[in-house]
Every structure is written in structure tokens, then in C-alpha cells.
Amino acid sequence: MLYKIAGDIFINQHRQRKVHMKFRAKAVDETFGESPEELVSFKELSRNYELALEKLPEKQRTVFLMSRMDGLKYYEIADNLGLSVKAVEKRMKHALDFIKEAIGYQQ
């Protein structure tokens, strides 16, 4: 039951962040006046990022969002989820690899 409540809270927060990110993306478009090519590239990257987040396995997505959106440290995430820090690190590594591949990141 506790996991269900936590999952529901997480999903609600994720939806709120999604709306916030769309608002910020629109504000960036209106504020900086980038070239049309840059705007298209940014929108495509944002769309690919959102799709990657949706496709991430739930455990990896949870760790990723807690770290990147909530600003929690790995040990805080581990405490919140009842995991070891190593498990959080592993999930984060897999999440980052998945997102990089999904958005076409190349070094």
C-alpha cells in the first residue's frame, strides 16, 4: 500500500514537472530568439528526452527523476527507496545510458 501511495505521488510530481518543462521551453523560445534551425533542434531534443523518460523502466526513471528533478543525492535516494547506494548508482548509470541512446547523444 505504501509503495502504491509513493508511486501515485511520484506520478503526480512527474506530470507537474512535465508541464513546468513545457512552460520553460516555451519561455526559452520567446526570450532568446534563436534561429529557426536551433528552435527545431531544441524541440526535437526535448521531444526525444520526454519519450525517453516515458520508456525508461520505472525503477530507473524513479532514481533518475529523484536525482535530476528533485536534486537528491544518491544516499538520500537510497534511504527513500530502501536501496543501497550501489543499487542507486547502477540504476542511474542504466538510465543515463538509455537516455543518451534515445536522444542520439554522441561524444
Q: What single string gives the DSSP state of each residue in 23-68?
A: HHHHHHHHHH---HHHHHHHHHHHHHHHHHHHHS-HHHHHHHHHHH
Nearest to 82 by CA among 99, 63, 100, 97: 63
State the average pLDDT over residues 82-98: 94
pTM score, two decimals? 0.64
Please tell me the predicted confidence (pLDDT) of residue 10. Answer: 66
- pLDDT tops 90 at residue 11: no
Domain 2-103 is in which class? Answer: mainly alpha
Residue-wise pLDDT for 19-78, tens only, equals 667 666 666 555 555 677 777 777 888 888 888 888 999 999 999 989 988 889 999 999
Please tell me the predicted confidence (pLDDT) of residue 28. Answer: 58
Domain spans in the chain, listed from the N-terminal domain onward: 2-103
What Å distances lie between residue 13 and 46, 68, 79, CA to CA? 19, 13, 19
